[in-house]
Structure 1
Amino acid sequence: MYKYLLVLAPLALIGYFLVGKDEQKKIEVKPKASVIDNQQLRHYLSSQLLDPKTPFKQTISHNSNSYKVNYSTDPKLESFVRKRLRYYRPDKAAVVVMDNNNGNLLVSIGFTRQGKVFDYLLPFTGTHPAASVFKIVTSADLINNEDFDIHDKFKYRGRGTTLYKYQLKNKKTRWQRTTSFDRAFAYSNNVIFGKAAINNTTPEELEDMAKRLGFNDSLMKEIDLAKSTFEIPQTDYAMAEIASGFNKRTQISPVHCAVLSSVVANGGVLQYPRLATNLVDEQNQTVWENEVRKEQVIGLETAKELAELMQGTIKRGTARRTFRRYMSRRISNKLEIGGKTGSITGGFPFGKRDWFTSYAKPKKNLDDKGISVCIMIINYEKWYVKSTKLAQEIISKYYRGIK
């Protein structure tokens, strides 16, 4: 055996020196790129959000290596949003614009009137009562019930914006009024939603729908997005409170709020939001990629009926005044726009929240699912701008010149 080794060893050395430089390059083993995992990226980007004065950096360092971060943001649209926030100067505001086709967050920015400060944390925080925005979840659950029709009639007493126990009783009086469920959605009638939930669904079914639509779940890989919270109601009155959004326990983040509208625009498909699309090393090699994630969470027919409800908010409901001038025949023939308003006092930071979540997509191009816009404005003593107004301006800017 040693004789064979003595013969082969010199031959191997001769073969090495006979190989050309080009061939030597082919057999060289290049070191693998240092891959950054989701946990490391999430820790980095989340730490950047905590500094309101520092925008997302274009490069990060890890293990003595430098990486370029590519974000999903739209600089031109973000610049427009910044200008409008500087103009209106609300006490606090969070603006999220999401591309429904891939989950890209085109804009995710917060603003504080005191000091005219922009920050990147507020849109990702989940300490905000969902208010009537949660009616989207309740409607999706009720529509799943085969015996339920969005045009069903309901009787109620008192103001629709309140929710007292006596209003949930089916007592005949001369002050009773009748309205349909779709109209109750458009005008955000708490009493109708409370009655509809008590009579047509269960706490467990409502919880299941909330989970399907992203509550109590982590929606992002690269950002430590606060989970939106849902608690199972224990009594009929608690069920009415939760279903109508007339409570402070159900909380949501502005990013998740935009996702709710995106599900409707996508025909029941939840596009998971993403802010960082990929990381590239110094050799221009991709070391991490945030793939487009999506999941069918509700049926197509359910999504279509939700879209009809949300369009009612724009055409005749709580957002009609803002969109009346914008929704001319020329625009209404080209864009499908739906939305849901909400308002409640509470949360952290404390204040009166003015919510509006909406979607807008072209009618002629069915493959384009458009954008979703969520505006959350927190007012202290004075109103400076309505959330519906700011959303309408953003939609108008994005689709300016649409044919």
Structure 2
Amino acid sequence: MRNNFPHPTKWRKYQANLQRSARRKQFQKKLLMLFAISGAGLALVILVYYTGIRLSNASDRAAQKLQQSENKVDASPQKLSRRDLTFFLNDAAIDVSLMTDQFVHRKNGVGYTIKTTINTKLQKYILRLLKRSRTRQSAVVVLNPYDGRVFAMVDHDADGNSENLILKADYPAASLFKIVSAAAALERAGFSPDKTLFFKGKKHTLYKYQLKPPKGRYIRKTTLRKAFASSNNAVFGKLGIHNLGQRVLAEYAAKFRFNTPISFDFPLAVSTIEVPADDFGLAEISSGFNKKTLISPLHATLLSAVAVNKGVMPAPWLVDTIEDSSGKFFYTASHKTLNASISNKTAGHLKILMQDAVRYGTSRRAFGRLRRKKVFNKFKLGAKTGTINDETDQFKYDWLTAYALDPDGIKGICVGVLGIHGKILGVRSTELARSIINYYFSL
């Protein structure tokens, strides 16, 4: 048979060419597969990217709709509770001194008409009075002692600052705390207003020698009602040590809402007290002769309300109703009490003590002018004053909490006044209260 293969040298070249061709085709095949896989991956990446964008846009639209829905809910709140009211009003930035019987508060684009218990004429009168008082700072609260309605709530700062002083508990209570101590003595120590008591030294000082049991010469005799009317520190200091003690003083401070929140439409600071165990510390607390027992002007006014309201402290309030532009009501006030601080009998005795302070005590001069007016002849007027310097002795805190009740017992108010004086002594709190009571009952 004839051999048809080419020359051996050519044969080797031929085989090499075949191998190169096979490798080239295999490489091209792998390259095409790689391109195919890469293309699919790229397409997948692009697909995921654009799908993510679409999902993100959908999520944004959903979130926007949800936010709009939430805004609609906020814009049209459900029935508000007393607790919700504080949050609702929180962003209103309201200057309490400029409040009227009705105002509009805008929230989330919706206007709400808020009707209050404020007596607009009385509010404006008190603001004018305080601006002319020559005090560095001053604050006044007028309220109904039976249901806690606030008729006026005004403060003034000589430097033009607006701080809502009425809601702050930054001020030493001074002798206002004698109301608490007297109530404890009447109720827990078995005292009567005519209880005979003894003391040494001056009425308005508090030294350790005055707190010892009465012995020897120069012993002075008085009664509980006279000691209260004249704000006798020596007598009330001894009560804290010998008749009440740490536990009873702390108990009655709590009954009168010290160290305890007081529910109100606006955030109200808690009045604070620390009752020590040592004798002189007890004397300082019981007499109010200290700068550590702190109270707010609103709380100070409520101390008088306890005496008037048969021993029960009313919960203060001033927002009556809230409605939107369509007339839908979201809030309607309801009358509440905080707690029964003392018994009805004790409250009656406390009223006697406060009336004596007006007749012949620390409020005699200012309220005497009021009592001489024919219209006030049969009115029941009672008060308690308090005076103390600040920590630096640069400023004087001048307090009054008082009540005025008409003869029929139908119309009555409690008034709380704080005046802070600098080098120049401005109009005293007793004078301011007298003018306010006179104006209110002339309306």
TM-score bracket relative to the smaller structure: 0.7 to 0.9
For 1:171 and 1:50, locate their aligned partners in 2 and report how far apart those are by CA, in whole Å: 54
Q: Which residue of 1 aligns with 2:361?
A: 317
> Which gives a bigger RCO, structure 1 or 2 (Cα 8 Å, sep 6+)?
1
Bigger radius of gyration: 2
Report if aligned partners of 1:55, 1:120 keep a CA contact under 8 Å in 2.
no
Report if aligned partners of 1:109, 1:120 keep a CA contact under 8 Å in 2.
no
Q: Which residue of 2 aligns with 1:379?
A: 421
1:280 Cα deviation from its structure 2 partner: 1.1
For 2:96 and 2:392, locate their aligned partners in 1 and report how far apart those are by CA, in whole Å: 17
With over 3 angstroms needed to count, the CA separation of the structure-2 counterparts of 1:310 and 1:52, relative to structure 1, is closer
For 2:200 and 2:91, locate their aligned partners in 1 and report how far apart those are by CA, in whole Å: 50
Matched, 1:288 2:288: no
For 2:173 and 2:303, locate their aligned partners in 1 and report how far apart those are by CA, in whole Å: 11
For 2:309 and 2:191, locate their aligned partners in 1 and report how far apart those are by CA, in whole Å: 23
1:147 Cα deviation from its structure 2 partner: 2.9
State the percentage of identical aligned residues. Answer: 33
For 2:106 and 2:391, locate their aligned partners in 1 and report how far apart those are by CA, in whole Å: 36
Task: Give the partner amino acid of 1:83.
Answer: R
1:240-279: CA deviations, max 9, x gaps? 1111101111110000000010111112121111122221
Which one of the candidate residues 286, 297, 320 is aligned to 1:254? 297
For 1:223 and 1:146, locate their aligned partners in 2 and report how far apart those are by CA, in whole Å: 37
With over 3 angstroms needed to count, the CA separation of the structure-2 counterparts of 1:381 and 1:50, relative to structure 1, is farther
Which one of the candidate residues 78, 101, 121 is aligned to 2:123? 78
Q: Which residue of 1 aligns with 2:234?
A: 191
1:33 Cα deviation from its structure 2 partner: 5.6
Q: How does 1:201-216 map to 2 (within 5 A)?
A: 201-216=244-259
Q: Which has the higher helix share?
A: 2
Task: Give the partner amino acid of 1:310.
Answer: M
Task: Give the partner amino acid of 1:394.
Answer: I
For 2:366 and 2:413, locate their aligned partners in 1 and report how far apart those are by CA, in whole Å: 19
Which one of the candidate residues 177, 182, 188 is aligned to 2:225? 182
- After TM superposition, the score normalised by the length of structure 2 is 0.77
Matched, 1:110 2:168: no
Report if aligned partners of 1:135, 1:245 keep a CA contact under 8 Å in 2.
yes
What is the total number of aligned residue pairs between the two structures? 367
Report if aligned partners of 2:192, 2:349 keep a CA contact under 8 Å in 1.
no
Q: Which residue of 2 aligns with 1:302?
A: 346
Task: Give the partner amino acid of 1:388.
Answer: T
With over 3 angstroms needed to count, the CA separation of the structure-2 counterparts of 1:208 and 1:190, relative to structure 1, is same
Which sections of structure 1, spanning at least 5 residues, go unmatched?
1-30
SS of equivalent residue, structure 1 residue 304: helix
Matched, 1:391 2:414: no
Q: Which residue of 1 aligns with 2:171?
A: 128
With over 3 angstroms needed to count, the CA separation of the structure-2 counterparts of 1:46 and 1:314, relative to structure 1, is farther
Greater shift, 57-66 or 188-197, is seen at 57-66
1:175 Cα deviation from its structure 2 partner: 2.3
Task: Give the partner amino acid of 1:253.
Answer: S
For 1:170 and 1:306, locate their aligned partners in 2 and report how far apart those are by CA, in whole Å: 26
Runs of 4 or more, structure 1, over 6 Å off, are 347-350
For 1:86 and 1:64, locate their aligned partners in 2 and report how far apart those are by CA, in whole Å: 35
Report if aligned partners of 2:97, 2:155 keep a CA contact under 8 Å in 1.
no
With over 3 angstroms needed to count, the CA separation of the structure-2 counterparts of 1:62 and 1:349, relative to structure 1, is farther
For 1:350 and 1:287, locate their aligned partners in 2 and report how far apart those are by CA, in whole Å: 47
Q: Which residue of 2 aligns with 1:19?
A: none
With over 3 angstroms needed to count, the CA separation of the structure-2 counterparts of 1:69 and 1:50, relative to structure 1, is closer
Greater shift, 244-253 or 164-173, is seen at 164-173
SS of equivalent residue, structure 1 residue 325: helix
Q: Which residue of 2 aligns with 1:346?
A: 390
With over 3 angstroms needed to count, the CA separation of the structure-2 counterparts of 1:273 and 1:347, relative to structure 1, is farther
